[in-house]
Amino acid sequence: MSKDYKQMWSDLEINLEAHDGLLGVLSDAYTNIYLSQKNRPEGMKYFDFVISEVHGLRIEEIVEAKKQGRKIIGTFCVYVPEELILAVDGVCIGLCAGADVGTDEAEKYIPRNTCALIKAFMGFKLAGLCPYVQTADLIVGETTCDGKKKAYELFDEMIKGKLYVMEIPNKKGQDDKALWLNEIQRFSAKLEEISGKKITPEKLKEASTVVNNKRKALQRLASLRSADPSPISGLDALLVNQVAFYDDPLRFTAKVNELCDELTVRVKAGKGVSAKGNPRILISGSPMAIPNWKIHAIVEGSGATIVGEESCVGERNFASLMDESFSSVNEGLRNIADRYLTINCACFTPNNERLIDIETIAKRVKADGILHYAIQFCTPYMIEATKVRKVAEKRKIPFLRIETDYSMEDMGQLKTRIEAFLEMMGKGVRV
């Protein structure tokens, strides 16, 4: 950290002692997993800095934005339209948590067999360890999986009624589209109410361009990973995708594009993070919120390279752009509704489009194997794994299904299974 933020954390009612412990663990994990990698692009220095200041400088910026009257909106799902938040000059922060924190406390409220992501967002709040939650003026939940939907009811009491829930349909028919458009309109009215600012066509256009540019930069990064050898490790690419949820969008986009410029030079020179022909793995499944680096660390520590993530912390977050050609707010809201319904989350039924996405990505990144990752007890993704297996079979590449939580207890067992999976590479025939 560049300076002492104790007073700021104390003002935000952070549990200082436990927080020091958390930052220590995070810093050790980052040093072991990230800084020990060889041949990292120079452009990753910015992201290293962001992580070192994850509860420092960025929080200071957010506190400052709040002082200037901007509203801080926390979200848990890529279905919540960032464009609308920016259109009222708000700050959008992704709040999902990827660490085993406050679990005992969380389990006093929710069953043990709840997914680790839900336990973590509740645990971080109960343990007084998340300065992002503390700064939020509004936290947006959504009706996606049953676990989240019901946990939000309890979470609302913990955050003193700051929760707002968007209804996300479970299907994509005409009635569902109408419901979803109505939800977008309701959310935009809520944002106007709490910010005291009107969404104008100009503001919405400006916001759409900012968010689309961020998506384009992430698309560029994703496509550079198609090169063999990949110019960047899966771990580093995952980190960039995680940082996308809470960094300032303009600065983030500029830094991702700078990184991509460097990676383009690497690709032209045939340089990469591993040897040409190294096993290339596509990860598909539940989101990996920061600092969930477990699977990437094991796979890449075992010698393979992760070349794509079909995940909400990955392709599902940036694959489609919003149509910016609108001339009224109503038209813009329709375009937002259309764009967000292209996200193929396992909470929808049927969800065959996700399988098409996985096949397309696997082809583009030249995946030698698909590793399906589900957070333990994440029923939607655990069940869809059966269908994802068929995509791998169709492409005649190995498939591995993993269900795990945030603890480190199963590291040895996972390593053994992943190594056996990697040994199968080369037996598959690419079509």
Looking only at residues 78 through 107 of this chain, which bind ligand BJ8 when binding is defined by CB under 6 A?
Answer: 78-79
Rounded CA-CA distance 81/99 in Å is 25
Residue 130 within binding range of ligand BJ8, rule CB under 6 A = no
Buried b vs exposed e over 344-380: b needs ≥16 C-beta within 10 Å?
A: bbbbbeebeebbebbbebbebbbbbbbbbbbbbbbeb
Q: Which is nearer to ligand BJ8, 371 or 397 (CB)?
A: 371
| Least Cβ distance, residue 100 to ligand BJ8 (angstroms) | 14
Contact 85, 191 (CB under 8 A): yes
Q: How far is the CB of 236 from ligand BJ8 (least distance, A)?
A: 22
How does 391-410 read in b/e, with b if 16+ C-beta sit within 10 Å?
Answer: bbeebebbbbbbbbbbeeee
Angle at 37 between CA 121 and CA 78, to 5 degrees: 30
Q: Least distance from C-beta 285 to ligand BJ8, angstroms?
A: 9
Minimum distance from CB of 209 to ligand BJ8 (Å)? Answer: 23
Stretch that binds ligand BJ8, among 66-74, 111-119, 188-196, 365-373 (CB under 6 A): 111-119
Tokens of 238: 């995952």
| Nearest CB to ligand BJ8, comparing residues 214 and 255 | 214
- 312 is a contact residue toward ligand BJ8 (CB under 6 A): yes
For ligand BJ8, which residue of 124, 381, 399, 406 counts as binding (CB under 6 A)? 381
Q: Pairing mode, if any, of strands 91-94 and 72-75?
A: parallel
Out of 86, 93, 99, 117, point to the residue binding ligand BJ8 (CB under 6 A): 117
Residue 163 or 304: which CB sits closer to ligand BJ8?
Answer: 163
Q: What mask of x and - would describe binding to ligand BJ8 in positions 42 to 61, judged by CB under 6 A?
A: --------------------
Q: Which stretch binds ligand BJ8 (CB under 6 A): 83-91, 174-182, 268-276, 374-382?
A: 374-382
Q: In this chain, which stretch among 100-108, 110-118, 223-231, 414-422 interacts with ligand BJ8, using CB under 6 A? A: 110-118
Q: Which residue in 87, 95, 115, 322 binds ligand BJ8 (CB under 6 A)?
A: 115
Smaller CB separation from ligand BJ8, 117 or 207:
117
253-292 positions binding ligand BJ8, by CB under 6 A: 286-287
Cβ proximity to ligand BJ8, 343 vs 418, nearer residue: 343
Instruction: Rank residues 288 and 422 by Cβ distance to ligand BJ8 and give the closer one.
Output: 288
Q: With CB under 6 A, what is the number of residues at the site for ligand BJ8?
A: 20
Which range binds ligand BJ8 by CB under 6 A, 74-82, 210-218, 246-254, 331-339?
A: 74-82
Q: Which residue has the tokens 């980190």?
A: 239
Return the residues of window 347-366 that contact ligand BJ8 according to CB under 6 A.
347
Q: Is 145 in the site for ligand BJ8 (CB under 6 A)?
A: yes
Select the span of 35-43, 113-121, 181-189, 270-278 touching ligand BJ8 (CB under 6 A): 113-121
Contacting residue, 22, 59, 118, 422, with ligand BJ8 by CB under 6 A: 118
Instruction: Establish if 148 lies at the interface with ligand BJ8 (CB under 6 A).
Output: yes
Q: Three-state secondary structure along the chain?
A: CCCCCHHHHHHCCCCHHHHHHHHHHHHHHHHHHHHCCCCCCCCHHHHHHHHHCCCCHHHHHHHHHHHCCCCEEEECCCCCCHHHHHHCCCEEEECCCCCCCCHHHHCCCCCCCCCHHHHHHHHHHHCCCCHHHHHCCEEEEECCCHHHHHHHHHHHHHCCCCEEEECCCCCCCHHHHHHHHHHHHHHHHHHHHHHCCCCCHHHHHHHHHHHHHHHHHHHHHHHHCCCCCCCCCHHHHHHHHHHCCCCCHHHHHHHHHHHHHHHHHHHHCCCCCCCCCCCEEEEEECCCCCCCCHHHHHHHHCCCEEEEEECCCCHHHHCCCCCCCCCCHHHHHHHHHHHHCCCCCCCCCCCHHHHHHHHHHHHHCCCCEEEEEEECCCHHHHHHHHHHHHHHHHHCCCEEEEEECCCCCCHHHHHHHHHHHHHCCCCCCCC
**Selected range binding ligand BJ8 among 4-12, 30-38, 131-139, 378-386, rule: CB under 6 A:** 378-386
Q: Provide, rounded to whole angstroms, the least separation between the CB of residue 275 and ligand BJ8.
A: 34
Output the smallest distance, CB 242 to ligand BJ8, in A.
13
Residues that bind ligand BJ8 (CB under 6 A): 77-79, 115, 117-118, 144-145, 147-148, 286-287, 312, 343, 345, 347, 375, 378, 380-381
